[in-house]
Amino acid sequence: MEKDVFDLFHKQWGLVSAGSINHFNCCTVSWGSLGVLWNKKIVTVYIYPSRYTYEFMKENEYFTVCFFPESYKSSLAILGSKSGRDTDKVKIAKLSPIECGNSVSYKEAELTYYCKKIYSGFFDKNLVDDEIKHYYQNNPKSFPKSEDGDWQTHMMFVGEIIEVIKR
């Protein structure tokens, strides 16, 4: 393997995008997995329901996970701290969106996984380890409570890799 998958997500960070070129949103992710499921090569990302990107991930059948050269780390920091709900953060981050099948990639991306959503769902809260539960509960700024006032988990989105684009 050319890259360490752990470094790819945890250190390099990825950008998850969903929607059409005229109406999409994206956010930085450092939690993600690459693997095999149901005999398909997959990427799994975990998106918290308060993110604007979550709405696009729910609505769209396709999404991308993009990785960038180190020089774009500051762009990823912007995309991971501002919300597309109230800013044109892609412009602020100086990225150039391009059409990628039924989704969006970026001219600046060095690696894009174009994915078809094949599963999405919350974790069963009853089965989440106490340490993780407390992590959610003790970080209300990052993880706001759900409308019913209770803690919630990220939603898991499993994408079948349809195409890998390297530049």
Ligand X SMILES: Cc1cc2nc3c(=O)[nH]c(=O)nc-3n(C[C@H](O)[C@H](O)[C@H](O)COP(=O)(O)O)c2cc1C
Q: CA 151, 25, 34, 80 torsion: positive or negative?
A: negative
Window 47-66: residues binding ligand X (CB under 6 A): 47-48, 51-53
Give the interface segment with ligand X, choosing from 41-49, 93-101, 111-119, 121-129 (CB under 6 A). Answer: 41-49
- DSSP, collapsed to helix, strand or coil, labels residue 87 as coil
Give exposure, 73-102, as e/b (b: 16+ Cβ within 10 Å). Answer: eebbebbbebebeeeebbeebebebeebeb
User: Which structure tokens are listed for 8?
Assistant: 């790819």
Q: What is the dihedral of CA 83, 81, 120, 101, to 10 degrees?
A: 70
Give the interface segment with ligand X, choosing from 28-36, 66-74, 95-103, 115-123 (CB under 6 A). Answer: 28-36
31 binds ligand X (CB under 6 A): yes
The single residue among 3, 23, 73, 85 that binds ligand X, judged by CB under 6 A, is 85
The single residue among 8, 18, 19, 29 that binds ligand X, judged by CB under 6 A, is 29
120 binds ligand X (CB under 6 A): no
12 binds ligand X (CB under 6 A): no
Q: Which residues are at the interface with ligand X (CB under 6 A)?
A: 13, 25, 27-31, 46-48, 51-53, 77, 80-85, 154
